Amino acid sequence: MINRERVVEQFLTLVQINSETTKERQIADYLIEKFQDLGLKVEEDATAEITGHQAGNIIATLKGNDPNKPSIYFTAHMDTVVPGNDVKPVIREETIYSDGTTILGADDKAGITAIIELIHQLKEQPTTHGDISFVIMSGEESSLAGSRQFDTSRLTADYGYALDSDGDIGTIIVGAPAQIRLTALIKGKAAHAGVQPEKGVSAISIAAKAVTQMPLGRIDQETTANIGSFEGKGPTNVVCEEVQLIAEARSLKEDKLTKQVEAMERALKQTAERMGGEAEVTLEKLYPNYNFTETDQVVDVATQAIKNMNKTTKLTVSGGGSDANNMSGKGIPTVNLAVGYRHIHTKAENIDIDDLTEVPLLMYHIVKEAVK
């Protein structure tokens, strides 16, 4: 059913197109032409004007052959992390790797490959379906920038699937956390460090002591927090006057996320006040959480499709976000499906050819199950 040779050739082509996050123009142009050649209606939105990325999100629509059937969608992202330029894929024992000098880019060109092969299958082995949209996001690796700005009025889909998780085929990510970024500007008071250090207030000392007052790491099974950067520059003969601290908190539960962020903000402000300084804290919600159960349609359809493939279904939650977070938060129920890649964001990234070919087959079964 699935054309294995075509899938591998398509994947190898995609991973060799440079598309590090923010620099998606080349792959966007390739995909627009590809979808047009496959006979789909294609458009690119204007989100690049907001995100600052080279390309916006691509929406390709395969018209349904039965207008009375539900409309669904699939999404993947076109950008990769760094180092993702000049990828040289190699195949060893039916597994695809990079040559070790870059990432491979299976995250998420495996998802795009699956979308393209599904379109081939629906043309070669027609089955009843409503409108099917394919959304290729830009900027996923930049805190989900493309999907954050995506206008869901462009879609008629009732629900959909992101093709963007590691794990065995058959794994459904039914829950993922919201994330808030915390940026703090910590102000002390400059003074000569050798002559009158007692007249100064070290912003570095404030920040360091504040961090020790924060709950960090694994807070509970649903909540995490981390300090990403802590920067205070200056000569050693001056008491440091200013520090910038950037942190994040994530949780599957909104009330827990709020509690965690409040604790971090409180530690910064109270420590600064106690030590004679000041902390200005800015909060930015990068994306919302989502939580579904096996009774939700988006999960049930995928579960039945997996059973039809005689594979094991695994429902799980993730500690990371994906475009499914933003799309679900915007009102289109979306779960993330495992596509089989491993060691993403590293030079050891790889994917088995068997997994590459199973994902479009799973999608084909989802299309068939969606009309029942």
**pLDDT score, position 284:** 97
Are both 235 and 310 inside the same structural domain?
no
* 82: pLDDT strictly greater than 90: yes
Task: Give the residue numbers spanning the domain of 110.
Answer: 4-176+289-370
Q: Exposed/middle/buried for 195, CB within 10 Å: 0-12, 13-18, 19+? A: exposed
Are both 282 and 230 inside the same structural domain?
yes
Are both 198 and 262 inside the same structural domain?
yes
Domain boundary among 230, 256, 287: 287
CA distance 96 to 90: 6
Task: Name the 3-class secondary structure at 337.
Answer: strand
Are both 39 and 118 inside the same structural domain?
yes
Which is catalytic among the residues 24, 45, 79, 166?
79
Is 198 known to be catalytic? no
* 271: pLDDT strictly greater than 90: yes
Q: What is the mean pLDDT of residues 210-219?
A: 98
Are both 189 and 168 inside the same structural domain?
no
The β-bridge relationship of strands 159-165 and 72-77 is parallel
* Total-model pTM: 0.94
- At residue 1 the predicted structure's pLDDT band, cuts being 50, 70 and 90, is confident
Q: How far apart are the first and last CA of the chain?
A: 22
Which is catalytic among the residues 117, 140, 164, 369?
140
* Cβ proximity of 193 and 238 under 8 Å: yes
Domain boundary among 240, 266, 287: 287
Q: pLDDT tens, 94-109?
A: 999 999 999 999 999 9
* Cβ proximity of 283 and 182 under 8 Å: yes
**Considering its fold, how many domains does the chain have in total?**
2
**pLDDT score, position 304:** 98
Are both 78 and 202 inside the same structural domain?
no
Q: pLDDT tens, 122-138?
A: 999 999 999 999 999 99
Are both 58 and 158 inside the same structural domain?
yes
State the CB neighbour count (10 A cutoff) for residue 276.
12
Distances (CA, A) of 127 to 34, 48, 190, 280: 22, 36, 72, 58
Is 140 known to be catalytic? yes
CATH at residue 279: 3.30.70.360
Are both 210 and 170 inside the same structural domain?
no
Are both 144 and 63 inside the same structural domain?
yes
Domain boundary among 222, 255, 287: 287
For residue 141, the one-letter residue type is E
Are both 18 and 137 inside the same structural domain?
yes
Read out DSSP for 33-81?
Answer: HHHHHTT-EEEE-STHHHH--S---EEEEE--S-TTSPPEEEEEE--B-
- Name the percent of the chain lying above pLDDT 90: 99
Are both 339 and 242 inside the same structural domain?
no
- At residue 86 the predicted structure's pLDDT band, cuts being 50, 70 and 90, is very high
Please give the mean pLDDT across all residues of the chain. Answer: 97
- At residue 58 the predicted structure's pLDDT band, cuts being 50, 70 and 90, is very high
**pLDDT score, position 222:** 97
* 333: pLDDT strictly greater than 90: yes
Are both 167 and 195 inside the same structural domain?
no
- At residue 253 the predicted structure's pLDDT band, cuts being 50, 70 and 90, is very high
Q: What is the mean pLDDT of residues 336-340?
A: 98
